[in-house]
């Protein structure tokens, strides 16, 4: 079995993927607009809240130029719901054979989560070469990913978890890292105030910090 569609090809040129949780459906569009104003073109909307799928559907209708993906996909039922909505890509915090098989059947561009070499090996066995590395900082950070370049030369990652403007460069400079996922541009206090201008400002600072970082 081979991964039928490449998430990284779909997300070509994307270096930072905001990881967002939408509690209030009315926040979906202004939050996306703030992130786009800050220079981002793709969003990972996590399925952690009751309105997540509805928020994805709204964003797809009202902001069609943005690439909207679903994150925290942990069950086959969720994967099928995402496919039915026409979600552009799916991301999981972990990896299971069942999810790999369903993503393959649905032709879903998919980044399963990995934190160990054994999980990478299982994904490769199922035909995958693109993964989320999560939780990045807790799982070993750039040194862990660098150590995987030897045994897994064809594998590429999107590290997520504890990544911010200050440490993103340590990941993006690695040859096996395509992009990083982060929620650091969405601080809880700004979200609570619905301060979209502050979120746009923080997002711009994040994207500016990535400018000029080249892969090894």
- What's the distance, Cα to Cα, between the start and end of the chain in Å? 30
As a whole number, mean pLDDT of residues 154-167 equals 97
Choose, from 2, 26, 37, 44, the residue flagged as catalytic: 44
pLDDT of residue 212: 78
As a whole number, mean pLDDT of residues 93-99 equals 97
Q: How many domains does the chain have?
A: 1
As a whole number, mean pLDDT of residues 132-137 equals 98
pLDDT of residue 3: 64
CATH number, position 132: 3.20.20.70
130 among known catalytic residues: no
201 among known catalytic residues: no
| Inside any domain, residue 106 | yes
Percent of the chain with pLDDT over 70: 98
| Residue-number span of the structural domain to which 109 is assigned | 7-209
Choose, from 2, 132, 137, 201, the residue flagged as catalytic: 132
What's the pTM?
0.96
| Inside any domain, residue 48 | yes
pLDDT of residue 216: 65
| Inside any domain, residue 45 | yes
| Inside any domain, residue 216 | no
| Inside any domain, residue 215 | no
Nearest to 211 by CA among 38, 37, 6, 11: 38
| Residue 20 · residue 172 · CB < 8 Å | no
């Amino acid at each position: 079995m081979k991964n039928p569609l490449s998430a990284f090809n779909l997300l070509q040129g994307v270096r930072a993927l905001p990881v967002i949780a939408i509690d209030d459906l009315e926040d979906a569009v202004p939050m996306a607009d703030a992130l786009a104003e800050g220079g981002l073109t793709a969003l990972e909307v996590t399925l952690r809240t009751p309105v997540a799928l509805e928020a994805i559907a709204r964003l797809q209708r009202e902001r069609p130029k943005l690439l909207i993906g679903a994150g925290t996909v942990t069950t086959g039922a969720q994967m099928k719901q995402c496919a039915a909505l026409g979600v552009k890509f799916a991301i999981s915090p972990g990896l299971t054979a069942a999810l790999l098989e369903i993503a393959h059947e649905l032709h879903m561009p998919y980044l399963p989560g990995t934190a160990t070499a054994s999980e990478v090996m299982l994904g490769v066995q199922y035909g995958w070469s693109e993964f989320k590395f999560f939780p990045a900082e807790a799982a070993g950070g750039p040194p862990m990913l660098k150590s995987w370049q030897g045994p897994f030369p064809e594998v590429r990652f999107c590290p997520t978890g504890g990544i911010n403007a200050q440490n993103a460069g340590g990941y993006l400079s690695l040859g096996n890292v395509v992009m990083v996922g982060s929620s650091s541009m969405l601080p809880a206090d700004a979200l609570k105030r619905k301060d979209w201008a502050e979120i746009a400002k923080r997002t711009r600072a994040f994207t500016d910090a990535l400018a000029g970082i080249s892969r090894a």
